[in-house]
Amino acid sequence: MKGLKCLFLGICICAGSLVNAQMRDTIAYRVEPVNNWVFFGDENPVVEMVLVNNFMNMQKSNLSCVISKDTGEPLYTFKQQSSVAPKDSATVSFSFNAPQPGFYSVVFSADDKQIKKFNIAYEPEKIVSPYDAQNDFNSFWDLTILQLHEIKPEYKVVKNKALSGKYRTVYDVTMKSFEGETIRGYWAVPKGKKNYPAVITYMGYGATPWTPDVNTPECAKMAEFIISVRGQALNKEFNKYGDWFTYGMSKKETYYYRGAYMDVIRAIDFVCSREAVDKTKIFAQGGSQGGAFTLVACALDDRIAAGAPHVPFMSDFVDYEKLGKWIGAALRGEAKKQDVELSKILETMSYFDIKNFAGKIKCPIVMGVGLQDIVCPPHTNFSGYNLITSPKEYYIYPKNGHSLPIKEWFKVRENFFDKFL
């Protein structure tokens, strides 16, 4: 472990733009994302704050900066009194030695008032979170998939004229999944094509039903199946699983996501049942819960050619319990409800932890990460990603949280899938 050494880089006076500056009293403050807040190798992470004086007299600021681990443990505290000339600006920079790969919280304050909080990354590809799968992990999922295949899907496909458009025709799909549960989705087919690739889109936790794009030329490249897993989206009217995440958590056999993960596989079954689909070019995509489903699809089913998850949920519960407020409260609350140790709950969750599926993935993966995500912290994204051994790449969006810039990410995803078309 590196020694905890800190460096103050000093103040640079410069004329600067006032765009996006945050006003506090007489000085405006804005953060400069040095290196997009992602650092590697021997370079020390650097954080900068720009102080802007819009007035005709000298202004002073007592600036402080606290660097902490993403678990909340403070590492460094910097303090600097700065003077800014009239109609001028000053840049205050701080550098520190990151003790280990991971994500760090930065809090800037001026005159004891917080003005900015954000995360930075150091060597995210070297974050280590070992497998904690139980000995029967593989056999549990092998048996579950066999039980899914015993259920006849009974596909029902009905044209939806209202949702169809210029480039795609949309169909309502109903089918049977694990334990006989009825699930639904939208199947969008390119017009005028007899053979086409397909993408399966998995939705986020509790999302309202998404509808396919039908009117932009890009959508004509491939078919799309937007699946609603049990109790959510198109199936919410029939929900019997409460808040989903904690339902049946007392045992792996009864846990909600056992069935939901099988709905993920049944979606692949449906797409493969369509004669016009090129079975060598089936892709998976989704964000948050949908990101987890994408990785599960890639791990449990080799019919997926490539996957594009972003801000994936359901990963690294041992660390997630410490990093995610909602998840931590839910897991500890369930332990209290069941009157068991938290370790017992985490043992159950290990069967559904994305990082324990990661080693089974053989297709190429591209992952999108929101550096400021507090719902699915980036640490948990990389816990699973770093255990994937197939070809992979990632994109970190430094200013984004649990949602990525749609146009930018869609372009990345489109270019990635195009490699296999």
Residue 355 has pLDDT above 50, yes or no: yes
Residue 289 has pLDDT above 90, yes or no: yes
Q: What are the structural domains, with CATH classification, of the chain?
A: 6-126 (2.60.40.2550), 137-418 (3.40.50.1820)
Residue 18 has pLDDT above 60, yes or no: no
pTM of the model: 0.92
Burial class (CB within 10 angstroms; exposed 0-12, middle 13-18, buried 19+) of 292:
buried
As a whole number, mean pLDDT of residues 357-364 equals 98
C-alpha distance from residue 46 to each of 78, 92, 122 (Å) = 12, 10, 11
- Highest-scoring range by mean pLDDT, 25-29, 31-35, 346-350: 346-350
Query: What are the residue numbers of the active site?
Result: 288, 373, 402
Rg (CA), the chain: 24
The per-residue pLDDT of the chain, averaged, comes to 93
CA angle 206, 410, 356 (to 5 degrees): 55
**Per-residue pLDDT tens over the stretch 108-133:** 999 999 999 999 999 999 999 999 99
Distance CA(178)–CA(269), nearest Å, equals 12
As a whole number, mean pLDDT of residues 297-316 equals 98
Residue 385 has pLDDT above 70, yes or no: yes
As a whole number, mean pLDDT of residues 236-242 equals 96
* pLDDT score, position 25: 46
Tokens encoding 236: 């919410």
As a whole number, mean pLDDT of residues 28-41 equals 95
| Amino acid identity for residue 393 in this structure | E
As a whole number, mean pLDDT of residues 391-417 equals 97
Residue 12 has pLDDT above 70, yes or no: no
* pLDDT score, position 421: 87
Classify strands 89-96 and 46-53 as parallel, antiparallel or unpaired. Answer: antiparallel
**Per-residue pLDDT tens over the stretch 164-188:** 999 999 999 999 999 999 999 999 9
**Per-residue pLDDT tens over the stretch 187-222:** 999 999 999 999 999 999 999 999 999 999 999 999
Distance CA(75)–CA(98), nearest Å, equals 9
CA dihedral over 236, 239, 243, 246, signed as positive or negative: negative
Residue 270 has pLDDT above 60, yes or no: yes
**Per-residue pLDDT tens over the stretch 278-288:** 999 999 999 99
Percent of the chain whose predicted confidence (pLDDT) is above 70: 94
* pLDDT score, position 48: 96
Out of 4-8, 101-105, 388-392, 409-413, pick the least confident.
4-8
The two counts, helices (H) then strands (E), for the chain are 9, 19
Residue 3 has pLDDT above 60, yes or no: no
Q: pLDDT band at 26, cuts 50/70/90?
A: confident
- The contacts of residue 128 (CB under 8 Å, 6+ apart) are 101, 386
* pLDDT score, position 11: 35
As a whole number, mean pLDDT of residues 330-337 equals 96
**Per-residue pLDDT tens over the stretch 66-94:** 999 999 999 999 999 999 999 999 999 99
Of 324, 284, 321, 325, nearest in space to 301 by CA: 284
* pLDDT score, position 32: 87
